[in-house]
Structure 1
Amino acid sequence: MTNEPAPPALRLASTGKILHGISVGEVLEVSTLADAQLIAGKDGLGRIVQRLNVMEVPDILAWVKPNELLLTTGYPLRNTPQSLDRLVADLDERGLSALAIKLGRYLDELPEVMVEQADRLAFPLILLPNDVGFDDILNQVLTDILNRQAAMLARTEEAHRALVQIVLAGGGLREVTAEVAGLLQVAVAAVDRSGRILATAGDPAQVARLREIHAAAADVTATSITPVFEADHHYTAVPVVAGGHHYGRIAAYSPHEPLGAGEIQILERAATVAALVITKQEAITAVESKYRADFLRDVLAGRGGARVTDRARAFGWDLERPMCVLVAEIDPDAVERPIQDRMVSAWQAAVRKHDPCGAVAGFSHEVVAVVGSSVDPVRLARDARSAVPDGTFSTGISRVAQDAGALPGAYGQALKAARVGRQLHGAGAIAHFDELGVYRLLSLVKDTGELHAFVKETLGPLAGDDDPDNADLRRTLQVLLETNLNVAETARRLHFHYNTLRYRISKLERMLGCFTQDPHLRLNLTLALHVLRMRGI
């Protein structure tokens, strides 16, 4: 055979689907094709051959299948040589791997346009020796394909057993990546759904290159179930999927040549085992989280027992110091389980950052954190909120509790601050209990009907928003009370003329009474306006 050595087969279709077989270049290396010549389509030697077919009828196109090596003597084309001009394009369009033909008996030569077309389409044209029978070619090539597939399956099964043994021995992602890196002699990384690398293994220089390609890869966070190929297929990432959930990817970087189908199969087995590791860890974490949540709930309810600080220490929590409690309560229009899960994760990360000895647990519709009094609670709450951009929750902050026994009271303060803060400022508010002022007292009134009646009796027609003029007058009243009836300052804030404001004050007193002279009426009016500010009442 006079053709040059074939480049390594990629074992990939253009769609990214992994193909199992041997390349056209490898087919040309079997002994029966030692004298075969590649006359066109050299750039297509990496095409994969999965099966063989013999062209015996003119309408062969109806019978061919993708990834076939088509053998022919040219007999079906002897009477229609003009069809050769279009044959290569038709075969390439149907996904065939190559065409091997015998010349001399039925066709003396191939048209130049056919050769040119094969080169343009990277479709290999092979000239077969006349003394080689098709049955010998079929036997050798099919045997080679089957032997390679058998060896690939054996290697994959061996790798699978080794990976499963890691799980049975209690290993994690670090051990899985190390095993795959050793089997394939490549750099390997386990990546979570967000694209964060959890574990790596392999040559340090190769791992560094893997990290670079991974950081630049467009689909590292994609949720598709197909492999991702980057950097001319030297970077390969297969998805980790279990129970319909996408947990991330197992990525590999091969510095010398792209991974073949067998190597990618081992990556896929590793991804399956990684899914087992992750789901097992999630199950353990879920049980631990439940115990943590139950214990913290007991502490906040005053049922922690005499050894509460010792039990807390077993969880890594320090409850023997001045502390404050934060409650993040999901806003009513965002009560969804995925948001709750992301909230818990966000608060756990934020507490680890600000106070590694702090306690955090998720309840039904809220997350509770107990941190040291030296922590900036507002900054902590903002960090947690920034990690959940698609979900809203309001956060309340308690006063400082000196010991674990004072935590139930602090929890009640934080919960009240979260709810009153939402009423005052809307969804996503962050409120401190000490900053609630009179609203803390108003929130103690359980009968909201009584509050509504008080507002209506005190403000009369100014209690509603139906009339824009009345709403405008209510705004004037509010600023007057805030400035302690300073007419000049009120006029400046509202951009009114002094005489205009005097007219408005006269109108307000006709509607509400002589509040400029009655301090008790001013107090009632102030309280009524505060009640109106409390949303949800």
Structure 2
Amino acid sequence: MNSGENSGYDTRGAGITVRRALELPGLRSGLPEVVAGADRLQRTVRWVHAGEVPNIASLLKGGELLLTTGYGLGHRPADQRAFVRTLAERGIAALVVELGPRFARLPAALVDTARTAGLPLVQLHREVPFVTVTEEIHTEIVNGHYALLQRAEEVHRRCTEALLGGGGVPQVLEILAGFTGNPVFLETTDGQLLYAAGEGPEGADPLQVWEGLRERHRDDPPAGSALVDVPGGGPGSGGVRARLVLLPVRSEPAPVHRMAAERIAGVLAVVLMQARQEEELAARGRGDFLTDLAEGRVTAEDAPAQARVLGFGPGAGPLLPVVMRLGDALSPQGGGWAVLARAVAEELASLGVPVLLGVRPVEGRVPLLLGLRSEAERPAIADRVAAALRAGVERAGMLRPGARPPVVVIGPAGGWTAASAGLRHAAETATAAQGLPDRPWYDARRLDIDLLLWRLRDHPDLAAFVDRAIGPLLDHDRRSRPPLLPTLETYLAHAGRKAETARGLHLNRQTLYNRLARIGELLGADLDDPQTVLTLSLALRARRHVS
């Protein structure tokens, strides 16, 4: 892993060295001369900054290569010494000064202070475009980042292939240990060793390394250690199931090793998920996977392999995302989620399609993915899955008198990329739909207006809009009888068709006409005007979401 030690790249992180930056065409064309800190050119350049202000150190974070023509250095030697000292204290990688109108040669106070502070100081004897220098170095840094990501991705790919080939956690850890050149450990959240892989110095057993380093530094790991959480733990663990530990045995773990460990942690989370025996924890793990997929933490490319590990093997047809949202009055307590998951799974078994069912107790959600044979199946499967979900809730004994039934939202069918967006959209829509009239299921594609209004529910402008549009009507209904709001809601629901509205309200037409006239008078609006109808329809929908 140290093959790049003498190259221009920083092998410990994503950046290039000062030496490499000076070798690039942009700075090389300026005839650079290192006048201080020649023994510090292996410093990492994290970024490039150009500036001419005296207090520029306050704008930097450390690791920058600073380009300047010297106008901000000051005229007095004391100012120049202070300028260099503050840059050195800030931890910049190097200071590069272009000679010209400001300095024909660098002042002795500047050079001496840089030498004392150990700050690489470079003077350019020829004018160079700073923008070209910046672009060149930033391109090298970005390329370095990409190279690290590629190496980490390659390890992740190998680990995934090992698991799909029947391997387990030991094989995954062996691959990671071989990549890092150090032994690798998997421990519980309370520090108990689960697995160890790789070799210590001179072929020592990794357990010896563990006992010699990790056990003695339980609360304070050795400097340079890398600890990476494996996500998906149960209650009280902060969402962490286990922990990968990379100890600095042969060499300190590099950032690329941490990147690889973070990718592999996701794979291990799926493997450990399978190893759980408790139904609820298994269902929680599947819910974690579906949530990670929805929120983009699992990519569409990685999702099929991880889903297969969870036992979900859809065919070539589209995937159907579904989310059931339980109200607060329905949310099960204790081990009730296991009962719910079992009951729902048994009801869904009759569908005859692949199903991946999870639970998310914190959000009160049950996310699912179903594998369809074709898009044409969506309406029929949607009806059946909604009925199965509600039946599972009833079998679990969660339906209480007077409580609203669960909300079921069906997303659009599509591939894994569409499933990711569909699960996220369905989850948010299910929360927004809790205030809507009850239906067996809601189509996420037809609730975008309600979702938008729900997102704006805490904005004062939305409440003000509702008050302007239907406030006088609400005031009337609080003081007088009969209430007129149901008449307006039914009228708008029937698109202004008065005969259907009268039948829906069980009123004779003249009574309806009188009520509509009174509504128009209260609101100062023409109920036959399309713009008025649109405004009132939006206000009624917004009212469901405004506190």
TM bracket (short chain): 0.3 to 0.5
TM-score under structure 2 normalisation? 0.42
Flag the structure with larger Rg: 1
